[in-house]
Copies of this chain bind each other. A is one copy, B any other.
Amino acid sequence: MKPYAEMTKEEQKAELVELKASYKKFQEMDLTLDMSRGKPCREQLDISMGMMDALNSGVDLSCEDGTDCRNYGVLTGIHEAKVLIGDMMENNPDNIIIYGNSSLNVMYDTVSRAYTHGILGNTPWCKLDKVKFLCPVPGYDRHFAITQYFGIEMIPVPMSPEGPDMDMVEKLVAEDDTIKGIWCVPKYSNPQGYSYSDETVRRFARLKPAARDFRIFWDNAYGIHHLYDEPQDYLIEILAECKRAGNPDLVYKFASTSKITFPGSGIAALATSPNNLEDILSQLKNQTIGHDKVNQLRHVRFFKDIHGMTEHMKKHAAIIRPKFEAVEEIFDRELGGLGIGEWTKPKGGYFISFDALPGCAKDIVSKAKKAGVTMTGAGATWPYGKDPQDSNIRVAPTYPSLEDLKTAAELFTLCVKIVSLEKLLAE
C-alpha cells in the first residue's frame, strides 16, 4: 500500500470505510486488554517463585558477618546484598545503600531530602525561589510526577538514539544555576529503549553545572534487562566515569530488582560517591533503623551471585522477546510504508515508543480505549502530561499474553490508521 498522504481523497475515504468496519468488529469482541504499564506478566513472576523457598524456618537467617537479619539495624543493607547489587549495578558494594522494595521511593526521598535539607551543605531547595530539572523527552511519567509534586519546573530536552541532546544539556546547566537535576533512564530508556552512547555518558560525566548541587538522577532501571543474548546494548558506568572526570559527586544512580524478581517485593538500591553517601546517611539515620534485611538475604540466597542473576534474566527475555517481536511484526505489516507513524525496536527494557502524526496521539489512545485496549495515556511521556506535538505513545508489551497482545497491537494499528486518515481528510 502506498503512503496515506499520497492517496487521493477518494482513496482515503474508501480505506476509512473499510477500517471502520474492522474497528466495529473489534468493538464487538468486548476486549479488556492492557498495554499501559511496564508490568511483568504472570509467567515472568513464576520464574522467581524459587525465591519463596530460599528461606524457611530451618534456615539460619544470619548474614555472613553474623548479623541476625531478623532484628533491627544495618542502615545501609547487609554486605552480601551490597555485593550482589553492586555486581548488578557495576559499582563497588561500599558505594551502595540497599533500600526497601521501590526505587521510585528512593528517588522521591532523594528529591525530598534535597528539598528539605539541601545537598552537601547547599541551600535546601525549599528555600529557593526557583528550582528546575531537565527532562529528556519522551521520558518516564513517574519521574515527572515527583518533580512536579515538589513544584520543580521541568524543561524538556529532546532524545535521540544517542541519548539526550547534550549540546542543550551542557549549555543549560552551565548557564542556569537554578537547574538542579536531570532525569535519565540511560539504558533501554523508558519509553524508547535507547541506550546512551559512550560519548553521551562521557559528556554527562564532564558536565560543568553552574549549580554546585546539580545532580544527575541516573535511573538505571533496565541495566541487565536485555531481550537478546546478542546484540546487547552497552552502557559506560557513570560513577566510575564521573570519578575519572574529576566530578565524583555528580550522580545519584538508582536500580532495583523489581523487574528481576517481584515488583511487589524486590529490593531497591542507590549508588553514589562517598561524599554523597555520607550526606544521605546523615538523613537516613533519622528516617529508619534499617530496611528489610530478610528480603535482602532472600534475594542473595536465591541468586547466589551475579551469574545466577544474569542467567535468570535470560528466562525473562525468553518470555518477553516474542512479545516485543510480535508487536514489531504487526506494526511493520500494518503500518509499514504508510507514513503515519514511527516506532522504536529496542534490544531491551520494557517499552516500545510510537510516534504518530502530530495531533493524533490522544485520539488514537482514546479510540483504542473505546474498543477495550488501554494504552499509557497520551502525553504521559512528557512533563505535565503535555506532549506539544500530541504524537508520542508508549507501548508496553510485557503484561498481556502473547495472543492478547497481538489482538491489542492489531487494534492499535487500526486506530492509528483511522485517526491518521481522519486527520489527513480534515486538512
Residues of A within 8 A of B (CB): 37, 39-40, 42, 45, 48-50, 52-53, 55-57, 59, 61, 68-74, 100-102, 104-105, 108-109, 112, 115-117, 124, 126-127, 142, 145-146, 149-150, 258, 262-265, 283, 285-295
Contact = CB atoms under 8 A, between A and B. Distances in A.
The CB with the most chain B CB atoms within 10 A, among A48, A145, A149, A286, is that of A286
A24 B263 CA distance: 57
A37 B45 CA distance: 39
A323 B70 CA distance: 21
Contacts of A55: 52
Nearest to A124: B126
24 contacts: A37-B72, A39-B72, A42-B68, A45-B68, A45-B70, A50-B57, A52-B56, A52-B59, A52-B61, A53-B57, A56-B56, A68-B264, A70-B262, A70-B265, A71-B262, A71-B263, A102-B289, A124-B126, A142-B286, A142-B289, A145-B285, A262-B294, A264-B290, A292-B295
B289 A104 contact: yes
A295 B262 CA distance: 12
B59 A264 contact: no
A42 B102 CA distance: 29
A286 B108 contact: yes
Contacts of A37: 72
A116 B56 CA distance: 42
Contact of A264 (B48, B71, B262): B71
Contact of A101 (B39, B100, B285): B100
B286 A72 contact: no
A105 B288 CA distance: 5
Contact of A289 (B70, B263, B283): B263
Given A55-B52, A56-B56, A265-B293, A288 B72 contact: no
A42 B59 CA distance: 14
A287 B53 contact: no
A116 B126 contact: yes
A263 B70 contact: yes
Contacts of A56: 52-53, 56
A151 B70 CA distance: 33
Contacts of A45: 68, 70-71
A40 B263 contact: no
A280 B41 CA distance: 30
B116 A264 contact: no
Contacts of A71: 39-40, 45, 262-264
B126 A287 contact: no
A333 B257 CA distance: 55
Interface centre among A53, A72, A149 (most CB of B within 10 A): A72
Contacts of A150: 116
Nearest to A72: B263
A264 B288 contact: no
